[in-house]
Structure 1
Amino acid sequence: MEDKEIRIEILKILREKYNSDPPGIAGNKEILSELNASEIEIDRTITYLNGKGLIDVVLRGMGEMFHVKINSCGIDWLEQSIDDELEEFVDVKADAMNQPLQETKAPHPMKLDDLIDMGEGSTIEFKSSLKWDIQNNKFNKDLEKVIVKAVAGFMNSEGGTLLIGVMDDGQIFGIESDLKKLKKGNMDGFQQAIISLISDYLGTEFTKYAHIDFEEKEEKAVCKIKVERSPQPVFFKSSGGYSEFHIRAGNTTRMLDSRETHEYIKMQWGA
């Protein structure tokens, strides 16, 4: 399903089935049962709709667990937009059917503006820099560990995208300050630095699950790291000689204790 279609269908479901008086609340299981969409698509769409003020997230737990309800703004938007949105969607589908059969292409990666508009969530994280400490106005090597832990959290969850050079409020900071600290102060050098950090702290075998790209906005460069879910648990090797296990919990990266780690790994990988 297209993102636009999923947004409309979720709002329709919330309005028709979970907007009674008193207002009903739908969890993502209820939404998934109604739509032919993945949990990642539902998670991304709920985050988008919440960011646009069309729904209220009453409760958000670990991962993609949501309890949401449509609000008056969402109902108004749905009533005003659904006909035009669906008509446009149908037209696009009709045009595609009239075109000669072509080889299927991989979907295009999401643009920077789209990721920022969606806001931070279980599959999106913003980091202002790799090394530059904005608050103290100096380089801070410990910030590198924060980046790698976020990558590990995505690998141990459902994957996601890490943006470096974007502040928590979505403002563009850029990676130019970081580039000044690198021996090779360009995009290639930055990419090599990220790969080296993942290799050192997580293991070389996990570097293939992090796909690094760059995009410019407001004449500033932002690093996009598209992280795949790992087929096996990923541990962060701390300087103290012990291993840490991180996951995504809502819009944050969380370290689990030994008991939680054991239970999580058993649940996710059956180990």
Structure 2
Amino acid sequence: MDLKQYLKERCRLVDEALERYLPKEDELPSILHKSMRYSVFAGGKRIRPILMLAACESVGGDLSHAMPAACAMEMIHTYSLVHDDLPAMDDDDFRRGNPTNHKVFGEAVAILAGDALLTQAFILMSRNVNGSKPSAERLLAVIQEISCCAGSHGMVGGQVVDMESEGNQEIDLPTLQYIHTRKTGALMKASVKAGAILGGADDSAVSSLTRYGEAIGLAFQIADDILDIVGTTEELGKDAGSDEARGKATYPALMGLAESKRRAAELVDMALDALSSFDSKADPLREIARYIVARKS
């Protein structure tokens, strides 16, 4: 399959849906809605929503059943980036090649825009936006999965431990894995699992796709750690080498570059193995797993 074309087409579908689901810029309070839309439409690759749609497809599901939750996931991811970039956290000036939200709208509005995006995500998941019919039971399971993976035992918890670990030269592998599987991996796993549930998968398929999601989630963050070293600022859309400058806990810092690349490749193999019982409808997931470690940004 042509992965580049697939990603482009799915990204277009997600962007069109986000355009419908987000408040318009001229709706009061307009400054808040402008801030929300600024970061959502700042050029993201839409990996998480595309993973959800691909997982739904892999079990023969209807994409319309997964699209609201897919867009909700992108809102949650975007809120986390807006808050990560704040001076109190990573203090970044650029994201995806553009000034960060707080540099354009100020810290207070950026904080509130992140809050609003997180809230909007759950509004979107809990209503029948486009007339699709996933059962209430499946919808509730998805909301609970995403909530858990976004909260203190997931992404937010990983972010806290990541900040606490900055500059700590004694960081060990279990702590590093805790950070990566939660800060980045949790939402990726949730995206894949949610897509499977909304696609009507049985328990066995949900379990297999969850294992796939866990593997690629960790592989994605290890690849990010590697790119921070080998990538350029132009390729990354943010300052290259920022992890090392802040003394962040990363796989290359702990294990070296070569071993980090080997571990990422091993995780991709694990992800592909989890899909061994799936037919060609899972090919997009297979190609995305390979792309995760081959990408340049």
The TM-score bracket by the shorter chain reads under 0.3
Q: Which has the higher helix share?
A: 2
Tell me the TM-score normalized by structure 2. 0.23
Larger Rg: 1
Question: What TM-score do you get using the length of structure 1 for normalisation?
Answer: 0.24
